[in-house]
Amino acid sequence: MDLMPLSEPVLLILLSLAEQPRHGYAILKDVEEMSDGRVVLSTGTLYGALRRLLEEGWIERFEQEDTSRGRQAYRLTAPGKRNLQMEVSRMKHLTRLAGLRVEFPTLAKSARVGHPKES
């Protein structure tokens, strides 16, 4: 499997579903809130991303009992959680490395960019 960095909207959608299962509009609002209004998804973009994530098996449909209109909710699957954790650890590694290089350039001279599993 060859993974590439997730785009910001997809990462935010996954983070939204990591907290709890949500339906479409709740995801839209949560993504906007998490990004302080910087990322505002359109309906087309949201459902394009959800379709992809469903197809890849990262999320699954989930029947929510408390919805009046019988709206579909979505939740993360085990592979989805695993991939999200991998992405988060990649970002953590990158952030740590960037901090080192910017604040202590001489100490971090030998630090390499790469996935934590590779180093």
Should residue 58 be labelled a site residue for another protein when binding is judged by CB under 8 A?
Answer: yes
Should residue 100 be labelled a site residue for another protein when binding is judged by CB under 8 A?
Answer: no
Q: Site for another protein (CB under 8 A): which residue of 36, 65, 66, 69? A: 69
End-to-end Cα distance, the chain: 18
Other CB atoms closer than 10 Å to residue 36's CB: what's the count?
A: 7
Which of 70-105 are b and which e, b meaning 16 or more Cβ less than 10 Å from the residue's Cβ? eeebbbbbeebeebbeebeebeebeeebeeeeeeee
Residue 114 CB, shortest distance to another protein, in Å, is: 9
Q: How is residue 20 written in tokens?
A: 């709890």
Q: For residues 112 and 117, which CB has a smaller minimum distance to another protein in the complex?
A: 112
Q: For residues 37 and 103, which CB has a smaller minimum distance to another protein in the complex?
A: 37
Helices (H), 1-119: 8-19, 24-34, 43-56, 78-103
Q: For residues 4 and 103, which CB has a smaller minimum distance to another protein in the complex?
A: 4
Should residue 51 be labelled a site residue for another protein when binding is judged by CB under 8 A?
Answer: yes
Positions touching another protein (CB under 8 A) are 1-7, 9-10, 23-25, 28, 40-53, 56, 58, 69, 71-72, 110, 112-113
